[in-house]
Amino acid sequence: MIKFGPAGNSQSFYDAGYKSSLDVPEFLAAQGLNAYEYQCGRGVRVKEDFCRQLAAKASENQVALSLHAPYFINLATKEAKVMESSLNHIRKSLVAAAAMEASRIVVHPGSVAKDSTRKEALHRAEKLLGRVVEELLPDYPGIYLCLETMGKLNQLGDLEEVLYLCTLDNQFIPTIDFGHLHTRGLGKVNSGEEFEAVLDQIDSALGAEVVQNLHVHFSPIEYGAKGEIRHRTMAETEYGPHFEPLAEIIVRDKLTPVIISESAGTQTEDALTMKALYTKAQEAKA
């Protein structure tokens, strides 16, 4: 089943009088959403009891959980201290995800140092992920690390780099952030043909099953010469990418992705908008 939901808590959640993220699954289910990406971008600071309560609430409301790992992770770092810190952030994310019964953890690959080539940065990320496979993943067989395509040109994480890293182990799958691909391409990845080319590339590298159950981030993003500047909302139609062409492909190919909105403050509303566009595409095909 296809899933739609927000990354974190939208302003409307707080405007409705809610304060605790434990109330999010009920809030989302009441509106017809069925996914929620819990944010640990500033660090994994949640206790096990909270995670188990969130798992129960999500199960009760049929909301699929994922977790966004800390932004501090840099798989491509040269510094031994940052390597160990990155491993520890991933370790803590795995512990929290297991307690939440979340099967997917979104991870940023990191940045390319000014005195490094992209190839060197990719090699360092590959080596550190090798340690993740050996030291961490054996204890968490049902959890996938979802390496995200990134939006700034100086970040590791173009489509080819992410797909290569995902070939290293079956517990690595991509988070395809179409907004980030749009900004990296300085306006590309905004048409049906371009969306289809991305999906074909994933299929060639990782297989049809990964495409079928893809983890997707989608939101309009403002960009400049260096890529991503800031996330926008779907009401700001001057910013891309636009979801309609992707919705048509999802319907045509009967794909069942998890689609997470990262719009700025309106992520719940924009998840609902994408669900409505998906339903409209279904009706048009019927």
CATH code of the domain covering residue 242: 3.20.20.150
Please count the structural domains in the chain: 1
Q: What pLDDT is stored for residue 246 in this prediction?
A: 99
Can you give the length of the chain in residues? 286
Q: Are 10 and 267 in contact (CB under 8 A)?
A: yes
- Tens place of pLDDT per residue across the chain (286 aa): 999 999 999 999 999 999 999 999 999 999 999 999 999 999 999 999 999 999 999 999 999 999 999 999 999 999 999 999 999 999 999 999 999 999 999 999 999 999 999 999 999 999 999 999 999 999 999 999 999 999 999 999 999 999 999 999 999 999 999 999 999 999 999 999 999 999 999 999 999 999 999 999 999 999 999 999 999 999 999 999 999 999 999 999 999 999 999 999 999 999 999 999 999 999 998 7
pLDDT digits (tens, 9 = 90+) for 1-44: 999 999 999 999 999 999 999 999 999 999 999 999 999 999 99
- Interhelix angle 192-206/244-252, rounded to 10 degrees, is 50
Pairing label, strands 221-224, 227-231: antiparallel
* Nearest-angstrom CA–CA distance, 261 and 273: 10
Q: What pLDDT is stored for residue 286 in this prediction?
A: 79
Q: Are 45 and 51 in contact (CB under 8 A)?
A: no
Phi, psi dihedrals of residue 206, rounded to the nearest 5°: -125, -15
Beta carbons within 10 angstroms of residue 116's beta carbon: 17
Residues 6+ apart with CB under 8 A from 54: 21, 22, 25, 38, 65, 100
Which structural domain range is residue 48 located in? Answer: 3-285
* Nearest-angstrom CA–CA distance, 254 and 47: 38
What is the residue-wise DSSP string for 172-194?
EEEEEEHHHHHHHTTS-S-SHHH
Closest CA to 227 of 280, 172, 181: 181
